[in-house]
Each structure stands twice: as structure tokens, then as C-alpha cells.
Structure 1
Amino acid sequence: MTQAHDDGLEAFVRGLPKAELHVHIEGTLEPELMFQLAERNRTPIRFGSAEAVRAAYGFSNLQAFLDIYYEGAGSLRTARDFTDLAIAYFERLAADGGVHAELFFDPQTHIVRGVPMAEVVQGLVTGMDEARTRLGVTSKLILCFLRHLDEAAAFATLEAAMPFLAHIDGVGLDSSELGHPPEKFARVFTAARELGLKVVAHAGEEGPPAYVWQALDILRVDRIDHGNRALEDPALIARLARDHVPLTVCPLSNLKLCVVDRLEEHPLRRMIDAGLVVTINSDDPAYFGGYLVDNYVRVARALGLSRADLAQLARNSLAASFMSLDDKAAWLGQSRVVDHP
């Protein structure tokens, strides 16, 4: 593929209105900002430079990534820090042609360090407000429970979030998947649904297809985050296709965490061919080496996706978002104009 062709593909992807539905805001913390925050807050950091941090990003599995992810999050202390983090992400998203994002955040990661929930939520909301007014990018906030902690900790987190529910649109489930099935959190997800919150869950990244079934039937999720291993179960594929359950797939994350050895082996093409509602997302882009456009372009080259495929993936992201029906309709209408000039 020629460089001119590469440039044309990237420009095409940037021009597609699209939403990002699977991004951990703490995972957008670039090393340079990490150092700025550590200096501002006088918090220790064991790396001597931003380059040294990046050199440590050689992960063999999900847990190896999480260890350094939680360490990096230690530099986030104040509402201002979370605002700076959010704005830095939104500026990159806007440059990639993103029009909407649904941010995962992990309050348990911060509360255990003595950072109040108010600092986290208020800081993020300030950044979200600025993104809407200055960049034209809308967003929603999804509180994630850390699945390696117990049910009681999840309930305590939901309780701590009660004063801020006006700013929180959903709950999710992330962190170490293996050994922590979705059913572990059945009661807290029921409580969240009763509060009117949307529900999503990481399932089928490293965990088996059974975890995806549990997320569907026990947690009753609106979306599955990742879902790669669903392809091991034909009945599950049929269920996902029949019920139009969106999958928030993260190609470069899967490559970096050794879920796939090569992007050419990524299951995205098979997901599309099976009639699944697939979306492309960046997950933790500061750690995995690519934001939204990078994920679209690199997986398109690896799998030979057409521009029509990419346009449909972008439309899927808008349709699977938690935007209002009117906002979805407006963006979906514009996406057809972009796709068919």
C-alpha cells in the first residue's frame, strides 16, 4: 500500500462522525502529563522520564498492564488533575473526528488513595463541559466497578456515587477478568438498573464465553465490552446477532495485551461477517499506542476492511451509544453524507 493510499484512508476515517464507547479515562494518561501531575502534587513516581515509562509498556497479559495502570493513576489527586486529563483526551478525540465519547472511570482506584469521589466526578464533568462548548464533543460518564474487589466494595462505591448520579449515565465492570465472573456482581448491577442507569461489562477478553453469557443473562447488559471469545460459541454468536448486542472491540489493546499475536489474526472481520454489531475503540490508548483513528486504520490495513466496512463501524458506534434518539438520528444522517459524497 502506498503512502498516498495510507494518507487517504486516514483522512477518510477522520472524516467519519463516530463515537468512542470503550475508553478508560485513566488509560489516556500520557507519560508527559503523568510527570506534570506528579510534580504538581509532589507525588513520587519510580520512573525517571517519560521515555522510561513508555519503555515499561511491554505487557504480556492484562494483569501486567493493570499493575502499571494503577501506578500511573496515583498521580491523579485533584479535580484539576481529572479536568486536565479529560481535556487532553477530548482534544485528541476531536482531532480524530470523534463527536461523542462514553468515558469509563474507576473511582475505587482513587478512593483507596484518599481522593474523594467529588474530586473525581467534578473534575471529569468540568472537562466534559469544556469539550462540549469548545470542541463540540458530547460525552457521558460510566462508573466502573473493579471486579477483583468484592461485592461489598462495589455496593459501597455505588452508595458513594449517589450524590453524583445526575452526572453518571451507567455502570460497568472492568479490571482483572479471569476468576471474577460477572455473576459475582449480580446484585449491585440489579441495584444500578433500578436507579435507571445503563449497564455494560467487560466480558470475553481473557475470560471464557460463559462470562459473556452471564453478562447478558445475569447482569442484563446493554453492551458487551470486548467480547472476542464469544466467537468460540456458535450459540452465543447467534444470540448476539439476533439481539443486536453491541460489542465494543479494541484492536490495538488486544494486540498489546497478547489477546491476539498479530492484528491480521484479530476476530473483527469474523464478527462483521457473523452479523454482529461491532464498534472500534481505543481502550487505554496512552498505554496501547493508538487512539481512535489509529485503531480504525491499523485494523483496516491488517484485515483488508473496505471503506464501506469502516463507515458501517462508525455508524454502529453512533447507534450503540447512549445518546438521545434525536442526537443519534442527526449524526447518523450526517454520517451517510460523509460516506456518500
Structure 2
Amino acid sequence: MTDVENALSVAERAALRRSIATTNDPYVSAIPKIELHIHIEGIISADLKWKFSQRNAQPITNPRTNQPFSSLEELRDSHDTLKPRAGNRMDNSEETLSFFEAYYGGFEALKTTRDYYDLAMEYYERAAGMNVRYAEIFFDPQGHTRVGTSWETMMEGFRAAQGKAERELDVKSAWIMCFLRDESLESATQHYNAALKYRDMIIGIGLDSNEVGRPPSLFDGVFARARNDGFRLTAHCDVGKHYPLDHIHQVALGIAGIGADRIDHGLNAAGDASLTTLIKSKELGMTICPWSYIRHQPLDEVFGRIRALFDAGIMISIGSDDPAFMEDTWVLENLLVVKKYCGFTNVEVQKLAENAINMCWASGGAKERMMRELYDVDPGP
């Protein structure tokens, strides 16, 4: 059986989501949250896609039929990225392809600066409601420019929302520009050059998208340049695939000659003692998104690995990843589910929050303020 067949079914995930949504946990709700793994494109729900497409008179194409979606209900149905094509539960490869079909479909709907502003405000308003104080937000510029969007349209929308969120919602943020690893090094370099205009917004450089056959080492040249230019570095490493251990090792040790500053996902490291020792010795943080993994990995395996990394003394933080494709689960729900299934105490949840503050790339003063706010919330005995 595949890992997907051992993972939670659609009905089981829905039941778990309802259970988590009704959880009353005053401590988790009260603490300030620092979000280090959220894709702005991963919050483009079917409803947002429909809103933008209707406003811009721009139909959204169903990649499976090459015809426009005829209704909001049909578009919503397409967001179940674990829906099999032929009546059987899909394997990991098909699930990956299905996810990216839905994910990149959202880029088509964004056309104007107002769209990008509204998208970012959708995140900031949700973040403020969950007591998020600081976020480092991934975005994929190659996915936007290849459908005709200019950098100015995209970034000025984000900039306006970022400023409003800090002024009015007490949510500070920075941006991490990700290279799409299934695009060329030349494309990554072109987009890196274009990003330099927005250094006041962009704090880090990342790597995401389909990892199959695309190791981080392919992008070492542009990562080395980014390191020399003062950017922080991170990269995604898939969970549950056959290749991730080597990719995790490259991110930890090889990128830009000395390795990245953080690892995104990388949960498979929990099964390799030498790799966990390396990650701990280099004091690398890992951004972990539980709900992302339980869609295609066995529940016990996922939370056993998270617990093992935590117990090994590795800095892990909890993030949302792509809420629009993961049962509308945000950083709050991810903290609640990891607390429940890893058996974390409030003191251990406090440690997760400390990790996130220490791992983030905010200023020293901002970190001190967030730490004080965290310690002002009593975890109890």
C-alpha cells in the first residue's frame, strides 16, 4: 500500500478538522505566534479565485478539461487535491501533480495591484485573529510573471497590504522570494535580479515547487550570490518521497558553500541519526507544517517524527503551509493538532514559540519584544 492509502481519508481529515476547530485551548490561543512557513499563493481559496476572476472578467481554466470552470461549486470541488481521477486512491506522485494543478491555477486569477493587495490582506487579517505578531511569507514570482503579471503589480499590492497590517493590525512581516525548482537556473537568476529592487521587503531567498529530479544543488550559483548580497537562505525538502535525505543534506551543508539558514519541511531527517546530529550542530531551524503531511502520510509516523526532532533538541517551528488546500487549517490549527498528537505540554508549546522567535529573521529588538510577550502568558504547571 502507498503512504497515501495509509493516510487519513477525506472524511477522517474533515472529522479531525471539526474536532480541532472546537478545541478550547486558552494557552495556545493567547500566545504570540510567529509564522515562518506560509505561501501567499497557498491561501488562494476557490472563493478568492472566483472573486478575482469575476471582478476581472477572466475565466479560470480547469486543467483536467481545458475548459473554464462553470461555477464556484465546481471550482471548490477541484480544491480537493486528493480526489482520485479513476475511482481509486491516488499514489504520492499523482497527489503531487494534482496539488500543483490546483495551486498554480490560482496565479491566473491575479491580475491587478488590487488583487495582490486583497490577497495579502486576506492573510494579514486571518493572522491578526490568531495573534500572529510576525510572519515571513513565501511568494513565487516566476509563477506570476509567466502568466503576464509585472513585478510592480505584484509587489506594490503586497507593499500596501504589508504597511496597513503593521499599522492597523499589529502584524509585522517580511517576504521570502522562492525560486521554482522546476524552472531553469537562468529563470531563477533573472528573477533574482528583478527582486533586488525590493530588498526593503524581501529578507530571504527560498526554493519550492516540484522537487522530483531537481536537487537544491542545481541552484547553488544563485544561492551563493544571494548569500553574498546579504539575504538569508532556506529551501523546501519534501516529506515521504524517495530522495529527501540527500536533498536535506544539501540544504544543511551545501547551499552557497556553507548551507542554508533554515530547512523547510525535511521531516524525514528524523529517521537519520547523522542528519539530525548535523542539523542540531549547525543550529538550523526547521519549519514544520503538520497538516500538510497527514494528508499523505500515516498519522502516527508524522507526529512520531515531529516529536523525535523536538526531543533531539532541534529547533522546529510550526507553520500553515497552504491553508486553502489543507482543510482551511492555519497556524493555530497546526499548533493545536501537533500539541494533541505529539503530547506537548504548555511548556513545550512555549518552547516551540521560542524556537520560532529565535529562528526568524526579524531584528534583535523585535525578537526581544516578542519574547517578552510570550513570557507574559503563563503556561501553568
TM-score between the two structures when normalised by the length of structure 2? 0.84
Partner of 1:262: 299
Q: Decide whether the 8 Å contact of 2:293 with 2:302 is kept in 1.
A: no
For the residue of structure 2 that corresponds to 1:247, the secondary structure is strand
- 138, 142, 147: which is aligned to 1:113? 147
Q: Paired residues, what number? A: 336
In the alignment, structure 1 residue 8 sits paired with structure 2 residue 8: no
What CA deviation, in whole Å up to 9, does each residue of 1:189-216 have, x standing for no partner?
0111121111110024344211011112
Alpha-carbon contact 1:23-1:283 (below 8 Å) kept: yes
1:216 corresponds, among 215, 233, 252, to: 252
Counterparts of residues 170-181 of structure 1 (less than 5 Å): 170-181=204-215
Amino acid at match of 1:211: H
Q: Hey, what's the Cα distance between the residues in 1 that align with 2:71 and 2:317? A: 35
Q: Residues 41 and 77 of structure 1 are in contact (CA less than 8 Å); yes or no, is this contact kept in structure 2? A: yes
- Counterpart CA distance in 2 for 1:79 and 1:263 is 43
Gaps of 5+ in 2: 1-18, 61-67, 83-91
1:277 and 2:326 equivalent?
no
Corresponding residue SS for 2:179 = strand
How far off its partner does 1:86 sit?
0.6
- Equivalent residue for 1:306? 345
Q: 2:363 aligns with which of 324, 328, 333?
A: 324
CA deviation string 1:215-270 (max 9, x = no partner):
122212111000111123211101111222100001011122x1x22266432111
Runs of 4+ in 1 over 4 A off after TM superposition: 3-6
RMSD: 1.9
Structure 1 pair 200–108 and aligned structure 2 pair: CA distance change class (3 A): same
* Contact 1:264/1:302 (<8 A) preserved: no
Contact 2:46 2:76 in 1 (8 A): yes
Which secondary structure does the structure 1 equivalent of 2:334 belong to?
helix
Offset at residue 163 of structure 1 (A)? 1.9
Residue type of the alignment partner of 2:363? S
Alpha carbons of 1:189 and 1:4: their partners in 2 closer, same or farther (altered >3 Å)? Answer: closer
Instruction: Answer yes or no: is the 8 Å Cα contact 1:251–1:263 preserved in 2.
Output: no
**TM-score normalised by the chain length of structure 1:** 0.94
Query: Quick one: structure 1 residues 124 and 4, their matched pair in 2 at CA, closer, same or farther if it must change by over 3 Å?
Result: closer
Q: CA 1:235 to 1:4, structure 2 compared with 1: closer, same or farther past 3 Å?
A: closer
Using the TM superposition, name which of 56-65 and 79-88 deviates more. Answer: 56-65
Which residue does 2:77 correspond to in 1? 55
Where does the alignment leave 5 or more consecutive residues of structure 1 unmatched? Answer: none
After superposition, the Cα gap between the structure-2 partners of 1:133 and 1:297, relative to the gap in structure 1 and judged at 3 Å, is same
| 8 Å Cα contact 2:134/2:171 also seen in 1 | yes
**Counterpart position of 2:377:** 338
The answer on whether the counterparts of 1:146 and 1:175 sit within 8 Å (CA) in structure 2 is yes
Q: Is the 8 A contact 1:319 1:332 kept in 2?
A: no
Which residue identity is paired with 1:270? A
Task: State the one-letter code of the partner of 2:337.
Answer: R
Identity across matched positions, percent: 33
Q: Could you tell me which amino acid in structure 1 is paired with residue 219 of structure 2?
A: F
Residue pairs, 1:284-295, within 5 angstroms: 284-289=322-327, 290-295=329-334
SS in 1 for 2:137: strand
**Match in the other structure for 2:102:** 68
Asked if the contact 2:52–2:110 (Cα under 8 Å) also holds between the matched residues in 1, the reply is yes
Structure 2 counterpart SS, 1:145:
strand
CA distance in 2: counterparts of 1:97 and 1:127, whole angstroms: 17
Task: Please tell me whether residue 156 in structure 1 is matched to residue 190 in structure 2.
Answer: yes
Instruction: State the secondary structure of the residue aligned to 2:24.
Output: helix
Given that 1:16 and 1:339 are in contact with CA atoms closer than 8 Å, whether structure 2 keeps it comes out as no
Q: Distance in 1 between matches of 2:71 and 2:128?
A: 28
